[in-house]
Amino acid sequence: MNQPFLTLFRYWIHVYFPFTLALVLWFGTTGHSRNFYPDDIGNQWTLQSLDKMNLRTVTIKGPEIIDGVELSLIEEDTNGNINKLFVKSEADGIKLFRSIVSIAIIGEVTFDYSPPQVFLPIPAHLGSTWTVQSDAEIAVVGKIQSTNRAEVVAIEEVVTPAGTFQDCLNIKQNIALNLPIADLELTNSMWLAPNVGLVKATDSGGIIFELIDFDIAESEPQTAVQPIGKLATTWASMKYR
């Protein structure tokens, strides 16, 4: 395999692949008093890197039917690179049925999960750990095997351009990728706010994304601190439809 291709593939793995896995980890209802990802169809989150060079939008679409099962579709667009995740909230956790990821040069790659895998246990709390494993066959590269180990390592306040959010889950992920051309170890983190969802993320390349805008349906008010520093009882600083 030529060096330019390997370099580009490594770049995609570091920038896009970890976040694609991360999406399923914060989707769905937590099953207790706090919902760390409002999952209504039409909800949308926009994050931007600190240097303002990267824009990431996450939208819930659907429903989609796969093998007779009605699923929600999470579509993530980072700088025009689109990935799709097909998931369903069940009693014991959020389950992934299929993911379609777009890889530079290679094109779309489909991961099917049979049986579906639990990507987020219900409930999730400080100290929760879980492991996700998957593989896919890619014509140019060969077989990719991934093992994603996640842990809730802290409950923290997160300050973003969209507001300040209390009691956020800090989820750290360690991802091991085994490929014919290389073995990679990746680490990233994400922060999920109660009744809001993803408010901050870091990828293995060191890029930090912060929430700059969101448009979600919400059923209960919470207190949020606005960027100007005033405390106000709001609908989680949200725009209501």
Domain assignment present for 115: yes
Report pLDDT for 218.
60
Tell which residue, 168, 146, 205, 141, has the closest CA to residue 21.
146
CATH of the domain at 42: 2.40.360
Q: Are 142 and 179 in contact (CB under 8 A)?
A: yes
Per the domain annotation, does 189 fall within a domain? yes
Residues 97 and 116: their CA atoms lie apart, in Å, by: 5
Domain membership of residue 91 (yes or no) is yes
Distance CA 183, CA 86 (A): 27
Q: What are the pLDDT tens digits along the chain (241 aa)?
A: 444 444 444 444 444 554 555 555 555 443 333 577 677 889 999 999 999 999 999 999 989 999 999 999 989 998 888 889 898 888 777 788 988 877 655 667 788 888 888 777 777 789 988 887 888 887 777 888 878 888 999 999 999 999 999 999 999 988 887 877 778 788 889 998 988 989 999 887 889 999 999 998 765 444 344 444 333 222 333 343 4
Written as one letter, the residue type at 210 is E
Asked whether the beta carbons of 92 and 115 are under 8 A apart, the reply is: no
pLDDT of amino acid 229: 39
Q: Cα separation of 119 and 201, whole Å?
A: 17
Does some domain include residue 68? Answer: yes
Residue 160 lies in a domain: yes
Closest by CA to 109, choosing from 217, 236, 20, is: 20
Residue 241: inside a domain: no
- 223, 235 Cβ separation under 8 angstroms: no
C-alpha separations of 43 from 4, 36, 175, 183, 189 in Å = 38, 13, 28, 36, 22
Contact 40, 24 (CB under 8 A): no
Interhelix angle 3-15/17-25, nearest 10 degrees? 20
Which residue range forms the structural domain that includes residue 108?
Answer: 3-234
Determine, yes or no, domain membership for 222. yes
- For residue 129, give both structure tokens: 């750990």
Task: Work out how many domains the chain is built from and give that number.
Answer: 1
Note whether residue 239 is domain-resident: no
Paired strand residues for 87: 72, 96
SS3 98: strand
